[in-house]
Structure 1
Amino acid sequence: MNIPEQIGNYTLDREIGSGASSQVWLAHHTKLPERQVAVKVLMSQEREAIRRFQREAAIAARLRHPNIVQLYDHGYSQPFFYTMLEHIEGGSLRQLIERQGRIQLDAALRIFRQIAAALDYAHSLGVVHRDMSPGNILIEQGSERALLTDFGIARENGQAITVVNAIMGTPGFFSPEHVQGARAVTHSSDIFSLGVIFYHMLSAQLPWDEPPGLPDNPGFDPPIPLRQRGVESMPADVDRVMLTMLALDPTRRFPSARAAVDELDRIFARHQMTTQIILGATPAAAPTPTGFQSVGVAANEIETTLGPDLIRAPIDRAHRRAEDMRSAPQLASLLDVWAGQHRMYIALLGRLARLHKASSANVYFYRLRLLYEQRSPAEDDEEPDIHAQPFALTPEVDRWKIELPVVTDFSEHPGDRVILPGSTRVVACRPCEGRGLTPCPHCHGKQRVLVTRQIAVSPTGAGAATAAATFPNGAGGGRRTRGSATQEAEPPATAQAPPAPRTEQVLVPCPECEGRGGITCARCEGVGRLVQRKTFRWRRRTDLIHAQDDRPALDESWLQRTCKAELIYRERQSGGFRPEWSTLKAIAPMLAEAQQRADPDTRIVLSELTITFIPVTDIVFDLGKPGDSGLYKLTIYGFENMIPADWRFFNWERVIMISITAFSLLIALICAYFAFR
């Protein structure tokens, strides 16, 4: 299809760009030749393409920002839909980098700040660009103004998504969320892409050797440091900013593009100050300050070392709070409100206070969670070799190399007994010396034992007796035998005392071993062999170590009741600690204490470091009273801006007056009582 020579009041002059489904033409007003616009003409007649083109126009019409290309008009000129846009004399950032390579730091920062401002503005209206790339950034010739354009695949909050699984964007510049699908792309995805653009400006290369997120390279690796790309004389903290912007977890990126700009400004401000001190002459003693001094949150090792792994939103919120606290009127207002909440305090304290200094910091709280695993030294375990089964010939394995149930969380486990592979062997039973029998403990292997039994005695005549064996069945107990004649025993004329019992010892078969002299070995159960293995016992237990930044005169219980600590870091490590933890001065003693609780039989199998913080601001002031040269120091805690009670600011005149009034009233009541009694 041929493009018409004129659309509306504009004459099309020449094509200045093209896309997958559209062309961009330079046009001028037919009556006002100096009035030039860029006309974007949709070449596709597909319903989805038309819908996206119209949606792009609707979104662009809402955006009014000096760093976003302005939309003038949108309509239909058969058979084309068109959009008239602000014409920017110049070219795209992509063309600039292709033409000259790396962009100088000052120019790159200038472009970065402008596009960050445009991006935050769009995000404030609920618009996600979704295709941040150098091709969609225009650089105006002469003014060096940077403008964001092409909202063709942008999305507004609450807008339905027609294509869920499609990957939209420019390869090499889209975020990990783009790979997950359109529904996962948020404003944090734009910040990721902006980080890639900034890296690309400084190095003329991508942060990776190959564009990630594509079928042949789906993973996102950490970015290559800028120094390895040949970018010299760059503060090392810039790489930390890159790691934060390009974090795989969106919550660990900067919450806004402006937050990334502020962090870069702080880095370069420190870097330039350090350079001036090193290169300049020996600085003279600083003059005594006569006005109000205020500083924001100073650089600290938590942000410097763990920056890319921190949850950024609370950190940047703390920096914004610190900037607010640099305002003397803001501090005076807080003091007024605080004093007004206590009737006995000096009224309008903030108006009376002459502020000398305000400085902000973050008080960090640390919790080290530990899971210890204990494995006892190996011990021999034996059982009878009843089945005589063969065992595989394998080398013996160390107890710490045996895989136990996988550690997934900090659950304690009572453990169990585990056999060491390769430690099984067959040995002769030591108690029975391999015979399967042990000497009978009753007969000591002699098969017989002496037993004692009684012999019954029967009386014959006067004082005479004949010995007769007593049998169990009582034979011979009722008859008397004389010669060959048997006659009934006559009852004695008089009763006689029973004879004294008699005993004798005889050898009988041992009843315990049934005359064998031995019994089955209880250890080997008669087989004469034992299966011997090495075993150990294991268990898991948890532990906690707490610490916090040392801050004098801090009422911890009051602080915990009053202010909420914000979570900024939580990381786990299997089998020990992360290397960066040991570089932190506040964390190193905790790690040392944790190691002391381990020994050769106990190891740390899982650790988790959690860091929370509460922002604080210290202010120094005086009350300007004649003859009062004392300075007061107060600390404002938390995002809640809480100040603990302080008796120094009692209005003692009011306290005395109230006391006198109360005492006088009491005396009057007593007098009245006795007067009318």
Structure 2
Amino acid sequence: MIDKGYLLGERYRIIDTLGEGGMANVYLAEDIILQRKVAVKILRLDLQNEPQTQARFQREALATSELSHPNIVSVLDVGTDHGLPYMVMEYVDGPNLKEYIQKNSPLDLNEIIRIMDQILSAVALAHKHNVIHRDLKPQNILMDKRGNIKIADFGIAVALNQSSITQTNSVMGSVHYMSPEQTRGGMVTKQSDIYSLGIILYELITGTVPFNGDTPVAIALKHAQEPIPSIRKKDSSVPQALENVVLKATAKDPRDRYATAQEMKADLDSSLDPERADEPVFVPYHCN
């Protein structure tokens, strides 16, 4: 842990701890030159001599710095302080999406689409740059005071051409939102992110994740083997067209999911249209 008041890189004065993670800790700091608050992610002291963790931290900085989008947390600076790598990011003053759902559920359907559209727009840009996030979950999605969404934590994001990394790190991520192919250690693609987006949409609508269990393995098995629980059985006021977006995004076989985040967004944006009121339930073409 870094002490409050410490001047990192002779520029960023540590104010408080925002969060502690497996790879890095995040602090609230003041940029003494520009006199603004920033979030600083610093590699944990006990991991600074692990080459794999160092490389992962550098990948996050590289992946995020290449992605300029209003719904992705901006990287402002990257440096080292006495050999300890750090990354300076814009400070988002607000809850993460998990906290927002827990406090405000049930959400209005139009608000759900507004939130999801921002997430999809950001992921579409990442995918355009061939960056797969691989750990999309509400805890990694921040919301500012005006309701603007900011995706954070590209810590296990990977460029599609880095196939060795895709294989070796593929089982990282949060099991409640993880695609069946990720839990099996298979190749992670853009469709793996699409699956996670479908689970996030499910949680926005229902207030809960579709699968729970006593162990990560039990939850992973449900993702691989069990159908997504019916949203409309819980709440018949949810249009079938909206549930179909969830069902298509979370199809077990990646070939049945949306080809792109843009395609998912277009389908979502028309899901409340009256002309889609009598839409049949989505049925995947490929069966496991």
Q: After TM superposition, give the deviation of residue 85 of structure 1 in Å.
A: 0.4
Q: After TM superposition, give the deviation of residue 267 of structure 1 in Å.
A: 2.6
Q: Report the Cα distance in structure 2 between the residues aligned to 1:112 and 1:204, rounded to whole angstroms.
A: 14
Question: Max radius of gyration: which structure?
Answer: 1
Q: Report Cα offsets for 1:86-106 as digits up to 9, x if no partner.
A: 111112101212333332222
Aligned residues: 280
Contact 2:180 2:220 survives alignment (8 Å): no
Q: 2:271: which partner in 1?
A: 267
For normalisation by structure 1, the TM-score amounts to 0.39
For normalisation by structure 2, the TM-score amounts to 0.89
User: What pairs with 1:29-428 in structure 2 (closer than 5 Å)?
Assistant: 29-33=31-35, 35-43=36-44, 44-45=47-48, 46-141=50-145, 143-162=146-165, 164=168, 167-181=171-185, 183-210=186-213, 214-215=217-218, 218=221, 219-229=224-234, 231-270=235-274, 304-305=279-280, 307-310=282-285
Q: Report the Cα distance in structure 2 between the residues aligned to 1:238 and 1:126, rounded to whole angstroms.
A: 28
RMSD: 2.5
Q: Report the Cα distance in structure 1 between the residues aligned to 2:51 and 2:170, rounded to whole angstroms.
A: 17
Q: After TM superposition, give the deviation of residue 216 of structure 1 in Å.
A: 6.8
Q: Report the Cα distance in structure 2 between the residues aligned to 1:203 and 1:155, rounded to whole angstroms.
A: 30
Q: Report Cα offsets for 1:465-500 as digits up to 9, x if no partner.
A: xxxxxxxxxxxxxxxxxxxxxxxxxxxxxxxxxxxx
Structure number with higher relative contact order (C-alpha < 8 Å, ≥ 6 residues apart): 2
Q: Report Cα offsets for 1:166-191 as digits up to 9, x if no partner.
A: 6211121010011121x511100000
Q: Report the Cα distance in structure 1 between the residues aligned to 2:113 and 2:98, rounded to whole angstroms.
A: 16
> 1:137 is aligned with what amino acid?
I
Q: Report the Cα distance in structure 1 between the residues aligned to 2:119 and 2:159, rounded to whole angstroms.
A: 19
Q: After TM superposition, give the deviation of residue 217 of structure 1 in Å.
A: 5.5
Against the structure 1 CA distance between its residues 134 and 165, is the aligned structure 2 distance closer, same or farther, given a 3 Å change threshold?
Answer: closer
> 1:188 is aligned with what amino acid?
Q
Against the structure 1 CA distance between its residues 234 and 158, is the aligned structure 2 distance closer, same or farther, given a 3 Å change threshold?
Answer: same
1:7 aligns with 2:11: no
Contact 2:123 2:261 survives alignment (8 Å): yes
Q: Report the Cα distance in structure 2 between the residues aligned to 1:237 and 1:88, rounded to whole angstroms.
A: 33
> 1:259 is aligned with what amino acid?
E
Q: Report Cα offsets for 1:345-392 as digits up to 9, x if no partner.
A: xxxxxxxxxxxxxxxxxxxxxxxxxxxxxxxxxxxxxxxxxxxxxxxx
Contact 1:178 1:185 survives alignment (8 Å): yes
Alignment partner of 1:36: what SS?
Answer: strand
Q: Report the Cα distance in structure 1 between the residues aligned to 2:214 and 2:87, rounded to whole angstroms.
A: 32
Against the structure 1 CA distance between its residues 24 and 227, is the aligned structure 2 distance closer, same or farther, given a 3 Å change threshold?
Answer: same
Contact 1:211 1:217 survives alignment (8 Å): no
Alignment partner of 1:115: what SS?
Answer: helix
> 1:20 is aligned with what amino acid?
G
Which ranges of structure 1 fall in alignment gaps of 5 or more residues? 275-298, 311-569, 573-677
Contact 2:14 2:29 survives alignment (8 Å): yes
Specify which of 12, 23, 30 is matched with residue 28 of structure 1. Answer: 30
Against the structure 1 CA distance between its residues 99 and 221, is the aligned structure 2 distance closer, same or farther, given a 3 Å change threshold?
Answer: same
Contact 2:183 2:220 survives alignment (8 Å): no
Q: Report Cα offsets for 1:420-477 as digits up to 9, x if no partner.
A: xxxxxxxxxxxxxxxxxxxxxxxxxxxxxxxxxxxxxxxxxxxxxxxxxxxxxxxxxx
Q: After TM superposition, give the deviation of residue 32 of structure 1 in Å.
A: 3.5
Q: Which has the higher helix share?
A: 2
Q: Which has the higher strand share?
A: 1
Against the structure 1 CA distance between its residues 211 and 244, is the aligned structure 2 distance closer, same or farther, given a 3 Å change threshold?
Answer: farther
Q: After TM superposition, give the deviation of residue 161 of structure 1 in Å.
A: 2.4
Residue identity over aligned pairs, in percent, reads 32
Against the structure 1 CA distance between its residues 271 and 57, is the aligned structure 2 distance closer, same or farther, given a 3 Å change threshold?
Answer: same
Q: Report the Cα distance in structure 1 between the residues aligned to 2:214 and 2:267, rounded to whole angstroms.
A: 27
Contact 2:124 2:261 survives alignment (8 Å): yes
Q: After TM superposition, give the deviation of residue 158 of structure 1 in Å.
A: 1.1
Contact 2:176 2:220 survives alignment (8 Å): no
Against the structure 1 CA distance between its residues 213 and 252, is the aligned structure 2 distance closer, same or farther, given a 3 Å change threshold?
Answer: farther
Against the structure 1 CA distance between its residues 250 and 82, is the aligned structure 2 distance closer, same or farther, given a 3 Å change threshold?
Answer: same
Q: Report the Cα distance in structure 1 between the residues aligned to 2:73 and 2:220, rounded to whole angstroms.
A: 34
> 1:115 is aligned with what amino acid?
I
